[in-house]
C-alpha cells in the first residue's frame, strides 16, 4: 500500500439536524458518513463524478452504525473514514469522536459494490480503476 487509505473531516451539527429531544436525529448520521466518504474518495480523485466517468456506479448495499453517545447542537465532531477493503467490494470504516475530548461518539461501516453503467450488472471484483486511484496492488 502506498498511502494511508483514510481521511478525516470536522463538522458541527446544525440546529436543523436536531430531533425533539434536542440531539442529532439518528438519520442525520448517515448524511455525515456521506460527507466523510465523499471527502475520502475525492482525496483519491475518485468521487462520484469520477466514478461515473469511469463507467461505474457504486451504490451502498450495506451499512452499520453503532451509536455510542449523542451529538448535540454546536458540538465539534471529527469523523475519520478509512478504506479497509477494495478487492471485491469497497468497505469503509468510520469513527466519529468529539473534537475536543476525543471521546468516541459513533462507529460505522458502509459497503459499496461496483455496477457497470452500461450493463447494470454488479461486478464481483472491483474494477482496476479503483485500485489505480487508491495506489494499491491486488494479489
- If one counts every other C-beta atom within 10 angstroms of the C-beta of residue 11, the result is 18
At residue 2, the pLDDT reads 44
Domain 4-132 has CATH 3.10.129.10: yes
Domain positions in the chain: 4-132
Bridge partner list, 10: 78
Residue 60, helix vs strand vs coil: strand
pLDDT tens for residues 70-123? 999 999 999 999 999 999 999 999 999 999 999 999 999 999 999 999 999 999
pLDDT tens for residues 51-70? 999 999 999 999 999 999 99
Backbone angles phi, psi at 37, to 5 degrees: -65, -45
Backbone angles phi, psi at 21, to 5 degrees: -90, 5
pTM given for the model = 0.92
Helices vs. strands in the chain: H and E counts, helices first: 3, 7
At residue 3, the pLDDT reads 60
Amino acid at each position: 500500500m502506498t498511502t494511508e487509505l483514510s481521511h478525516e473531516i470536522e463538522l458541527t451539527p446544525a440546529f436543523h439536524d436536531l430531533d425533539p429531544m434536542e440531539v442529532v436525529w439518528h438519520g442525520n448520521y448517515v448524511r455525515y458518513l456521506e460527507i466523510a466518504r465523499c471527502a475520502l474518495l475525492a482525496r483519491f480523485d475518485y468521487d462520484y463524478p469520477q466514478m461515473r466517468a469511469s463507467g461505474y456506479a457504486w451504490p451502498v448495499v450495506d451499512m452499520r452504525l453503532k451509536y455510542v453517545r449523542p451529538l448535540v447542537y454546536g458540538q465539534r465532531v471529527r469523523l475519520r473514514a478509512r478504506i479497509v477493503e477494495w478487492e471485491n467490494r469497497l468497505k469503509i470504516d468510520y469513527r466519529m469522536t468529539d473534537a475536543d475530548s476525543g471521546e468516541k461518539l459513533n462507529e460505522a461501516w458502509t459497503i459499496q459494490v461496483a455496477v457497470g453503467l452500461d450493463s447494470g450488472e454488479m461486478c464481483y471484483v472491483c474494477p482496476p480503476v479503483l485500485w489505480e486511484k487508491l495506489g494499491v496492488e491486488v494479489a
